[in-house]
Amino acid sequence: MFTGSITALITPFRGGAVDEKAFQDLVQWQIDEGTHAVVPCGTTGESPVLSHEEHNRVIELCIEVAKEKIPVITGTGSNSTEEAIALTQHAAKAGADAALVVTPYYNKPSQAGMIAHFTAIADAVELPIIIYNIPPRSVVDMSVETMAKLAEHPNIVGVKDATGDLARPLASRIEIGREFCLLSGDDDTAVAFLAQGGFGCISVSSNVAPRLNAELHDAWRNERYDDVWRLRDILQPLNQALFCEPNPAPVKFACSLIGKCLPDTRPPMVPLTTPAMAKVEEAMRGAGLLD
């Protein structure tokens, strides 16, 4: 079971290419700071603008550092079932602990289409698969009933829920059972998601505040609720600031402020505006991440 603070890793760039050293240094820092698992090549990792070769290389770089230290849940989704299978097979061969597979975007498949898509991927690999349900980006919303049907497959073990619907994890837990791994995809509702039966959060803010996020989840697990509320309140302004403009531009800028990488993104992402930079910097200072 995957639990706790799980970082949706950025992909640093330098001179237009993947900055491999900065990326591996970031992964090691996450481990040192107590992060419970990492996700390379998710949305925050700008997977839509990585070539297949870059995508596979980033996964390999992550596994090199994190293998047998913390779990690596690799982003391998695509709106093409064939492409998603190929990416997931590579992740399995590279030694990933699980794959995070997004619902097919742009195609707008039916619930039956989503069942066909995820079943084909799960049949093609011996690797735990976590469904990534994010209607704001993919347009489609997988129903609880569809997810319950897919959960019957032994390789489909959980969901990253970015619906923003806090009734959803409780409904999923009741419909599917306690063993299905429910992970929040939203930092700002992570604690509420835990209270509704969740196991952890795939986090953007833990790129820059890994220790605070890990401590929050450790406090929850150990029933130290006063610490949970305190850490939640420290992190909330940062969580909101990191989405003041499209992700991952704000979190990359935040990482640049603490020397982890350049703030570079790839088109169609663009650099932050000056007001957004000020907002992110203020939130970083408020969380105690900058002097």
Longest CA pairwise span in the chain (Å): 52
SS3 track for 269-284: CCCCCHHHHHHHHHHH
Report whether 197 contacts 1 (CB < 8 A): no
Exposure string for 60-88, b = 16+ CB within 10 A, e = fewer: bbbbebbeeebbbbbbbbbbebeebbbbb
Report whether 57 contacts 19 (CB < 8 A): no
Where would I find the beta strands (DSSP E) of 9-120? 13-14, 17-18, 37-39, 73-75, 98-102
Q: What SS3 class is residue 24? A: helix
Pairing of strands 129-133, 181-184: unpaired
Angle in degrees, 0-180, between the axes of helices 274-286 and 249-257, rounded to the nearest 10: 60
- Which amino acid, 188? D
Q: What SS3 class is residue 53? A: helix
- Cis ω on the peptide bond leading into residue 268 (within 30° of 0)? yes
Q: What SS3 class is residue 146? A: helix
The catalytic site residues sit at: 132, 160
Residues 6+ apart with CB under 8 A from 203: 5, 6, 7, 8, 187, 190, 213
